[in-house]
């Protein structure tokens, strides 16, 4: 007799067959579709055995069909296989042992469960009377456990894949896949656990939920939202994301559907801003409507490539010239799904072409020189980091075609009477050791630095002025150019020439011009470093000034709030400093201030900060330091100051200088650095009031 659940099983068989057929007919070459079709066949077979069981007229026949249906472990394994391929993790199944681990237990469970009772008829064939019937109950329990493990593994993998999707269509498809697996995972749990607890008994609906969830919902997602023709494989996506040319995928309505990192850099947008934006905002010259949105032609997966020169509008409103290649993209059903655009920034090329157009054929060499200067100017203009700028400049100079030089050389900077090699190319360690800290006038480079004149040497091995020798030295020529700023030599550029090669006056003039750029760049980098240091440090004591102190206080407070680790402040003040100034003069007072600052720097760690707070007051910031440790540091500084003899002038030395110190430590009740500074200041004045030359802390004062 056909029951309601029998009809449901028969209907689920039809659902699996229909959805599998629809998916495989759409694109039978796609591995995901093939695996899904095989999965649907397995579901259909399983559902049909459930149907036969529910319409069986005899008890023995019904038991036979229900045991035959224990092949359900195999569809669960195929479900996990499908999810691995769908999410791009099929590499886990490319070796034999993961594949056997997935399918082996499923086959063993199915076979042993079928033959482990008399209703299958197979045990009656045993010739020696052995029995495996007791295995049946244990295998059933193990099969439930194993199938649950497969199902929830597939569920977790699909959930992770769903959460990573940014493309709305892909997110819908992966969401439907997740929903289909969830239906299968949850429904049997309801029928076996929740409903029995509620004393509601219904027959096993696992095959129905498998067919509806996996076959129906997932099949619909693949059939309706087939994105495989638009979404590249993982390997292709990696290539596209790292390619140097900008790539955009534009939909049929003109919206930007995908974009790589090079395109984001070219246009100046963040990915979240540009996805879904109309491409007309980027291509303002009308090219979009004429080429991208045209639907002419439907043959093949990609139309013939067309290339034009146009402009793109960046986020800042700048118009950037590009060489643009575009091609129509079609799916397997020959429907237009979008346009692929590859853009290459040709700004530099355009500028170079404009420059060439302004010159006659007789100025070709001059153009090369201007290009060389342009490249060097770009290098020195883009960085104030002296080491980095010199390395880039050296690499650029040795690569210029206007010089007949080798890809080898270096740049020294002049520091007093010593040359310091900051940049070099293709030198052995012996060379670097031999030229470490050479003096002015030493060897060719030192002589050029002292004289300020260019030195050309045809062969260094035969050059009397070449005084530095090392085992790897070879026959080579030299051109050595002093780098100047306002007639002051700031460095030396040396370049290797082929042995006995000559360099003409035009090239020497160009090298002089380049040297002037580098000389000024070295001086500017030094001035920048000095200015930055002076702007953040007290010129008298060398300690941090109030500006740097405020920055470090803010950082220390933020770090303490984040990590919960303490930090402490020590406020120090020279006792009776006005008397020293009145007695010995302000110049002597300045010497005492500098001496105390030097003493403080000697007693604190590198991670600590000493700052001149104002006048004769100093503030110490001690990260990761509790109250007891801070008091110990303060006491050490106090004792050392009292025991130190300070030189105030050439004829005056004084001792007995004492300082008073106040200590405060941060806790989570302190909301701002101003409160902590005020507490340290209060503790300092308590030390003053108690007789000076002592250390007091806010906590020990019992102040609330």
Question: What single-letter DSSP state applies at residue 305?
Answer: P
The phi, psi pair for 618, rounded to 5°, reads -130, 150
Query: CA angle at residue 143 from 138 to 149, to 5 degrees?
Result: 130
Question: What single-letter DSSP state applies at residue 547?
Answer: H
- CB–CB of 574/596 below 8 Å? yes
Residue 246 in tokens = 């900008």
Distance, in Å, from the CA atom of 702 to the CA atom of 704, rounded to the nearest integer, reads: 6
Distance, in Å, from the CA atom of 90 to the CA atom of 92, rounded to the nearest integer, reads: 5
Residue 398 in tokens = 């040795």
Question: What single-letter DSSP state applies at residue 211?
Answer: I
Beta-sheet pairing, 659-665 with 695-697: parallel
CB atoms near residue 515 (< 10 Å): 22
Distance, in Å, from the CA atom of 152 to the CA atom of 149, rounded to the nearest integer, reads: 5
Helices and strands: H and E segment counts in the chain: 25, 17
Of 619, 640, 626, the closest CA to residue 684 belongs to: 619
Examine the residue annotation and report whether 255 is marked as an active-site residue of this protein: no
Beta-sheet pairing, 609-614 with 695-697: unpaired
Distance, in Å, from the CA atom of 486 to the CA atom of 507, rounded to the nearest integer, reads: 22
- CB–CB of 26/226 below 8 Å? yes
Question: Which three-class secondary structure state does DSSP give residue 206?
Answer: helix
- CB–CB of 8/208 below 8 Å? yes
- CB–CB of 275/248 below 8 Å? no
Residue 161: enclosing H or E segment and its boundaries? helix 135-163
Distance, in Å, from the CA atom of 78 to the CA atom of 102, rounded to the nearest integer, reads: 9
Alpha-carbon 211 to chain mean position: 43
Going across the sheet that includes 319-330, the strands are 256-259, 246-250, 336-345, 319-330, 306-313
| The one catalytic residue among 303, 369, 591, 616 | 616
Of 663, 581, 573, 576, the closest CA to residue 617 belongs to: 573
Contacts of residues 628-632 at CB distance under 8 Å and 24 or more positions apart, as own/partner, are 629/568, 630/568, 630/569, 630/570, 630/663, 630/665, 630/697, 631/663, 631/695, 631/697
Distance, in Å, from the CA atom of 412 to the CA atom of 427, rounded to the nearest integer, reads: 14
Tokens 């440790």 correspond to 629
The sign of the torsion formed by the CA atoms of 682, 687, 688, 690 equals positive
The phi, psi pair for 392, rounded to 5°, reads -65, -40
Q: CA end-to-end span of the chain, whole Å?
A: 88
Tell me which residues are annotated as active site: 616
């Amino acid at each position: 007799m056909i029951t309601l659940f029998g009809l449901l099983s028969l209907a689920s068989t039809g659902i699996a067959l229909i959805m599998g057929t629809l998916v495989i007919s759409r694109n039978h070459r796609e591995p995901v579709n093939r695996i899904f079709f095989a999965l649907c066949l397995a579901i259909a077979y399983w559902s049909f055995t459930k149907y036969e069981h529910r319409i069986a007229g005899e008890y023995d026949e019904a038991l036979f069909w229900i045991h035959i249906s224990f092949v359900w472990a195999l569809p669960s394994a195929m479900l996990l296989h499908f999810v691995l391929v769908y999410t791009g993790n099929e590499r886990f199944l490319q070796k034999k042992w993961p594949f056997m681990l997935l399918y082996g237990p499923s086959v063993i469970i199915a076979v042993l469960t079928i033959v482990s009772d008399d209703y299958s008829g197979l045990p009656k064939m045993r010739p020696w009377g052995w029995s495996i019937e007791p295995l049946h109950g244990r295998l059933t329990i193990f099969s439930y456990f194993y199938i649950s493990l497969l199902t929830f593994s597939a569920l977790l993998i699909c959930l992770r894949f769903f959460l990573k999707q940014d493309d709305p269509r892909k997110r819908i498809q992966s969401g439907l896949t997740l929903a289909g697996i969830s239906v299968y995972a949850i429904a049997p749990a309801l029928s076996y656990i929740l409903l029995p607890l509620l004393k509601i008994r219904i027959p096993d609906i696992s095959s129905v939920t498998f067919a509806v969830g996996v076959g129906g919902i997932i099949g619909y997602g693949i059939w309706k939202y087939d994105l495989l023709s638009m979404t590249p494989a993982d390997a292709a996506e990696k290539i596209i994301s790292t390619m140097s040319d900008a790539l955009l995928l534009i939909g049929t309505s003109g919206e930007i559907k995908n974009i790589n990192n090079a395109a984001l850099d070219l246009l100046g947008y963040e990915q979240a801003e540009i996805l879904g934006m109309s491409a007309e905002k980027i291509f303002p010259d009308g090219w979009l409507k004429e080429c991208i949105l045209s639907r002419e032609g439907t043959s093949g997966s990609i139309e013939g490539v067309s290339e034009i020169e146009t402009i793109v509008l960046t986020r800042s409103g700048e118009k950037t010239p590009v060489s643009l290649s575009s091609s129509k993209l079609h799916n397997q059903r020959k429907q237009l799904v979008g346009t692929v655009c590859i853009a290459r920034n040709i700004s530099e090329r355009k500028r170079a072409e404009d420059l060439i157009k302004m010159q006659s054929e007789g100025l070709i060499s001059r153009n090369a020189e201007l290009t060389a200067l342009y490249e060097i100017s770009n290098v020195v203009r883009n960085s104030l980091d002296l080491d980095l700028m010199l390395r880039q400049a050296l690499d650029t100079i040795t690569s210029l075609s206007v010089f007949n030089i080798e890809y080898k050389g270096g740049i020294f900077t002049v520091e007093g009477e010593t040359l310091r090699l900051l940049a070099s190319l293709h030198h052995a360690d012996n060379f670097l050791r031999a030229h470490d800290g050479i003096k002015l006038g030493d060897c060719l480079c030192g002589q050029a630095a002292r004289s300020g004149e260019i030195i050309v040497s045809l062969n260094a091995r035969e050059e009397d002025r070449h005084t530095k020798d090392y085992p790897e030295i070879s026959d080579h020529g030299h051109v050595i150019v002093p780098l100047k700023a306002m007639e002051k030599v700031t460095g030396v550029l040396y370049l290797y020439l082929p042995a006995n090669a000559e360099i003409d006056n035009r090239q020497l003039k160009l090298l002089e011009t380049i040297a002037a750029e580098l000389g000024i760049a070295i001086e500017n980098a030094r001035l920048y470093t000095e200015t930055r240091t002076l702007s953040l440090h007290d010129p008298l004591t060398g300690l941090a000034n109030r500006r740097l102190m405020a920055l470090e206080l803010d950082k220390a407070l933020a770090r303490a709030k984040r990590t919960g680790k303490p930090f402490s402040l020590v406020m120090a003040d020279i006792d009776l400093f006005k008397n020293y100034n009145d007695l010995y003069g302000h110049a002597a007072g300045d010497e005492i201030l500098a001496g105390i600052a030097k003493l403080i720097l000697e007693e604190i760690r590198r991670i600590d900060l000493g700052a001149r707070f104002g006048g004769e007051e100093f503030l110490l910031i001690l990260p990761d330091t509790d109250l007891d440790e801070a008091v110990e540091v303060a006491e050490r500084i106090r004792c050392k100051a009292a025991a130190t003899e300070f030189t105030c002038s050439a004829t005056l030395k004084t001792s007995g200088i004492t300082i008073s110190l106040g200590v405060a430590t941060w806790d989570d009740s302190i909301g701002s650095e101003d409160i902590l500074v005020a507490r340290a200041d209060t503790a300092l004045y308590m030390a003053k009031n108690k007789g000076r030359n002592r250390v007091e802390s806010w906590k020990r004062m019992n102040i609330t």
